[in-house]
Amino acid sequence: MESYDVNVSEGMYAKKAIPEKERKSWIGVAAIYFGMTAALSAFATGGALISGLTLIQSIGATILGTAILVFLFFIPTGNIGAREGLNTYMIGEAAFGSKGSNIATAFIITIIPCVGWYGVQVSIAATALTEVLGGNESLTPWMMIILGIIFCIPAMFGVISMAWLDYLAVPAILIITIYGFSKAMSITGMEGLFEYTPTSSQTIVWGANLMVGSMVVGASFTADYTRWTRNKLSHVSYAGIVGNFPPLLILTIIAAMMGISASSLGNVEEPWNIAEVMKVLGLPIISLFLVIIMQWSTNITSSYSAGLALTKVFGWSRFWWTLIAAIVGTVLSLVGIMQFFIGFLGILAAFVAPAAGVIISEYYFVSKGKLNRKNGLYWPGIISWLIGGFVAFLLPFFIPAVNGAIISAVIYYLYHTFLADKKV
């Protein structure tokens, strides 16, 4: 059998289709997404849910939000990647044109949010690690630099090394989660958890919106990873369901339980701050491993996809662009991105989902399952995307990300049904 050099193959297929003989098992993609979704962001979301929902409502919101992520975003976009063997940015040329894809898919779906998320995750990890090590804040910048570089190393060498990290991380995450759950049960008990009443009352849709908003970026660049799987819808579905439902449901719900238990002790002002929650519950060492393992398994996907998108836009080496993306994210962490990123994340969520909506509409409904890539700027796709994005951002009813995706997809389809030149 011919030897497989991971880094050479990763660079080789940054801009062209991966042949079937190079495809891997769907389990590797599921492991990568398991690691990506099993992050402190899932714990933070669980803690945030209980600020407005009961535990039963939080469970309902988690299930609804995860179902939307998997069936509306992951599987449709991931299936395109598996069928075509191409990444999100090459596929995006069919909806936005070669130049337009650089803006709509490379920068908006991937580069900006991934580099920003990298900085946010490094900030969370470094701050929590500093607190566990004694709270000397002068150590935090050094922790940011060290973790920022270490986190991206597996991604530099590609999906195979990323999957191996997640194979190691997933069991540790499960053990930590079980330990946290048992601690919450010993303090509050199941009856106390289900009797919990939040200080303010929200709806399940509100909670589902938190779920979708926090994860829609990752659910929209799935082609980057599913292009490595066999060309079967079932394989993409397996990867999406296994890679998203277990970690999101288990971690988010248990985080909500832990937040309720910690709040019952009267010492937690922010139940979404998982480091604070674990410290109150008496799990400082566990929180140390949680931060390192979970943030590492999440940030490899951020740096990998950012590096892949930068290669599409500027050429050169995916290996080195991955490192550069991590360095920029680390610098953002050092300059205090945590102070500004929450509002920025809302803007990104509003504009990322509509881009995915246009890609789905183009491939499945307009071009009937064929990849019709276009040159330059393809304005129908860009305009449809912008309309959906602004509607999602300015009219935040129901779930804005879903609204934007549907509106953009419908506008794009109607244009090609009634106005477009049929010969194009």
Reported as a single tens digit per residue, the pLDDT across 192-213 is: 999 998 888 889 998 998 888 8
How far is C-alpha 178 from the geometric centre of its chain's CA atoms? Answer: 23
CB of 82 closer than 8 Å to CB of 360: no
Give the pLDDT of residue 13: 74
Average pLDDT of the residues in 355-381? 95
Predicted confidence (pLDDT) at residue 21 exceeds the cutoff of 60: yes
Among all chains, which residue has been given the structure tokens 């910048």? 141
- Domains in the chain: boundaries: 23-419
Of residues 165 and 61, more confidently modeled: 61
Give the pLDDT of residue 66: 95
Average pLDDT of the residues in 217-231? 87
Which residues neighbour 25 within 8 Å (Cβ) at sequence distance 6 or greater? 229, 230
Average pLDDT of the residues in 131-141? 82
Kindly report the average pLDDT of the chain as a whole number. Answer: 84
Give the pLDDT of residue 276: 72
CB of 247 closer than 8 Å to CB of 85: no
Predicted confidence (pLDDT) at residue 283 exceeds the cutoff of 60: yes
Average pLDDT of the residues in 58-84? 95
Predicted confidence (pLDDT) at residue 343 exceeds the cutoff of 80: no
Give the pLDDT of residue 345: 63
Please state, in angstroms and rounded to a whole number, the distance separating the CA atoms of residues 16 and 358.
22
The DSSP annotation for 165-226 comes to HHHHHHHHHHHHHHHHHHHHHHHTHHHHHHH---SS---HHHHHHHHHHHHHHHHH-THHHH
Among all chains, which residue has been given the structure tokens 């059998």? 1
Predicted confidence (pLDDT) at residue 5 exceeds the cutoff of 50: no
**What is the per-residue burial (b if ≥16 Cβ within 10 Å, else e) of 313-325?**
beeebbbebbbbb
Q: Identify the H or E element spanning 363.
A: none
Which stretch of 46-60, 153-167, 196-210, 330-344 has the lowest confidence by average pLDDT? 153-167
The domain covering 23-419 belongs, at the CATH homologous superfamily level, to Hydantoin permease (1.10.4160.10)
Give the pLDDT of residue 369: 94
Predicted confidence (pLDDT) at residue 10 exceeds the cutoff of 60: no
Of residues 364 and 19, more confidently modeled: 364
The DSSP annotation for 28-60 comes to HHHHHHHHHHSSHHHHHHHHHHTTTS-HHHHHH
Burial of 398 (0-12, 13-18, 19+ CB in 10 A): middle
**What is the per-residue burial (b if ≥16 Cβ within 10 Å, else e) of 13-32?**
bbeeebeeeebbebbbbbbb
CB of 177 closer than 8 Å to CB of 250: yes
Average pLDDT of the residues in 314-339? 87
Predicted confidence (pLDDT) at residue 424 exceeds the cutoff of 60: no
